[in-house]
A = this chain, B = another copy of it.
Amino acid sequence: MDHALYTKYPLSVVNSLTRQKEVFEPINPPLVGMYLCGPTVYGDPHLGHARSAVNFDVIFRYLAFLGYKVRYVRNITDVGHLEDEVAGAGEDKVSKKARLEKLEPMEIVQLYTYRYRDALRLLNVLPPSIEPSATGHIIEQIEIIQSILKHGYAYEVNGSIYFDLGKYAQEQEYGQISGKVLEDLQSGSRQTEGLDEKRSPHDFALWKKANPEHIMRWDSPWGEGFPGWHLECTAMSTKYLGETFDIHGGGLDLQFPHHEAEVAQSYGAFHNHPANYWIHHNLITIDGQKMSKSKGNFITLDQLFTGDHALLVQAYSPATIRFFILQAHYRSPVDFSNEALQAAEKGLTRLLNAQETLGKLNHQSGTIDEKLNKEINQLCEQCYWEMSDDFNTAKLIAVLFDLSSKINGFNHQKLDLAAISTETFQHLRKTFQDFISEVLGLQAEATNDTQQKEGLIELLISIRNQARANKDFATSDQIRDQLKELGVQLKDEKAGSTTYSFTN
């Protein structure tokens, strides 16, 4: 019988809901429904966006690798959460004269959505199965509000609808995910927005009445307005995955209030809990500090890829950023520093070089060294077990480094390749390849090509310098002229070195 890998290597995940590690049991195996809270698209994507997308990309990849058939929904937040920023950026400049002169929030949304997708493509993040947007699901949000109102967990004030957390907390335990206690919240700092309308300061808006100057607005049973931020995720996850689905993901910073609000909304609308497993990734700090625009330590992905930021001593490739993120377990904090990025760059090169070396090794069986044979097989098996243990990419990468040492040992004949069996060698090849490429999504840089080209030019310069030293000017001129034809202009500097530039 052909078993799927998920029966051979059953998956455990740490569930934020129970704070325990649990065996993963999807509602309808092999189907898995997974929802991740995506970005709010009003600015350039940064390291935090990369961590979220990369962590869940690997979860998506590993679930598929194990044989699950995953529907992965990652949304785009294009209203509600960003409304103030967009309005603040241009409202004063809005002319009432012509429609076209108005600031169009969707143009901003589109620009940053493209930038987000471009950055993720460079990071080798697979596209999700569905990438829905909040503005694309206004009707669905209105329907959920109607259901919550009908069940008595929300109230209308002046064209706005608020969720009644007090009533909810009488029936359900508030704060299962975040550990927050409602009473503490209410005695703490008060949210000023809509305070005069809300029964309790921590009630949250499901629908906000639009002021006259508000650009993004839709008709609703309560007049023109726009949905509250929390609601979109309930609407889109329900529409594409059902009222209760398998995995809900997001960053730790979304546990409160966003995910608590989702739980409350689902109960209010469907009397259901939305997801069986809640998976939260940890955050990224910079030199131990929270990343923020005001601290000036805010680095966009584009700045990382180009090195164009005061805090960066060099550019880092998308693959380096990806590897840097994956070297930590998703639940561990990651501290950004140039040193850590440089170490990741070296580590990634080591792994990819070992992968290349492995591809070139020619195996022929000789006398089997049972100990070595077993050791290699166990390391291969460990790759599966580490990933099946709550997606532990940190430990997986450590095992892959151990395997790299073996591969380099075979290559330098410090270990005898003939001493492992054909099956073991094939197991090694497949496992190493699968986990690096398919599961971790690591790939040789596009810049490899550039590095190779630069190496070729430097070799030609060095041959030309030797020719000149030997007074073989025919050869040195030939190299210079033919390089020029190939678009490479040599320049002999006064100090004696030769530099080059590309002419096309």
Binding site for B on A (CB under 8 A): 27-28, 31, 33, 71, 97-101, 104, 106-107, 110, 114, 127-133, 135-139, 143, 218-219, 240-243, 245, 356, 359-360, 444, 448-450, 452-453, 455-457, 459-460, 463, 466, 475, 478-479, 482-483, 485-488, 503-504
Contacts and interface: CB of A to CB of B under 8 A. Distances in A.
A452 B101 contact: no
Contacts of A137: 136
A31 B95 CA distance: 13
Nearest to A244: B99
Contact of A486 (B106, B130, B133, B456): B456
Given A457-B456, A475-B463, A240 B98 contact: no
Residue among A106, A218, A448, A503 with most chain B CB within 10 A: A106
A442 to B, nearest CB: 14
A273 to B, nearest CB: 15
Contact of A131 (B110, B132, B243, B356): B110
A71 B97 CA distance: 16
B127 A107 contact: no
Residue among A466, A479, A504 with most chain B CB within 10 A: A504
A479 B463 contact: yes
A100 B31 contact: yes
Top 3 A-B pairs ranked by shortest CB distance? A136-B136, A99-B242, A456-B456
Nearest to A502: B452
A483 B100 CA distance: 58
Contact of A100 (B107, B242, B450): B242
B106 A130 contact: yes
A372 to B, nearest CB: 26
Residue among A71, A99, A132, A452 with most chain B CB within 10 A: A99
Given A28-B98, A31-B98, A104 B219 contact: no
Residue among A27, A139, A242, A356 with most chain B CB within 10 A: A139
A272 to B, nearest CB: 12
Contact of A459 (B359, B448, B479): B479
A118 to B, nearest CB: 9
A483 B114 CA distance: 40
B71 A240 contact: no
A136 B139 contact: no
A360 B98 contact: no
A450 B444 CA distance: 16
A449 B451 CA distance: 12
22 contacts: A27-B100, A31-B98, A71-B104, A100-B242, A110-B129, A110-B131, A114-B127, A136-B137, A139-B218, A139-B219, A444-B504, A448-B504, A449-B449, A449-B453, A452-B486, A452-B487, A456-B460, A456-B486, A459-B460, A459-B479, A460-B463, A463-B478
Question: Secondary structure at chain A's binding surface: helix, strand, loop or mixed?
Answer: helix
A100 B139 contact: no
Given A28-B101, A356-B487, A455-B482, 20 more contacts: A71-B100, A71-B104, A98-B242, A99-B241, A99-B243, A100-B241, A100-B245, A104-B130, A106-B130, A107-B129, A110-B128, A139-B139, A143-B219, A356-B503, A359-B504, A453-B453, A455-B486, A456-B460, A459-B486, A463-B479
A503 B466 CA distance: 27
Contacts of A483: 456, 459
Contact of A33 (B100, B110, B359, B488): B100
A240 B104 contact: yes
Given A98-B28, A453-B456, A486-B456, A135 B136 contact: yes
Contacts of A444: 504
A466 B444 CA distance: 34
A503 B353 CA distance: 12
Nearest to A487: B452
Nearest to A484: B360
Contacts of A450: 449
Contact of A503 (B136, B359, B504): B359
Nearest to A26: B100
Nearest to A459: B482
A295 to B, nearest CB: 32
Contacts of A106: 130, 132, 240
Contacts of A104: 71, 130, 240
Contacts of A503: 356, 359-360
A359 B489 CA distance: 13
Residue among A137, A452, A483, A485 with most chain B CB within 10 A: A452
Contacts of A360: 503
Nearest to A97: B28
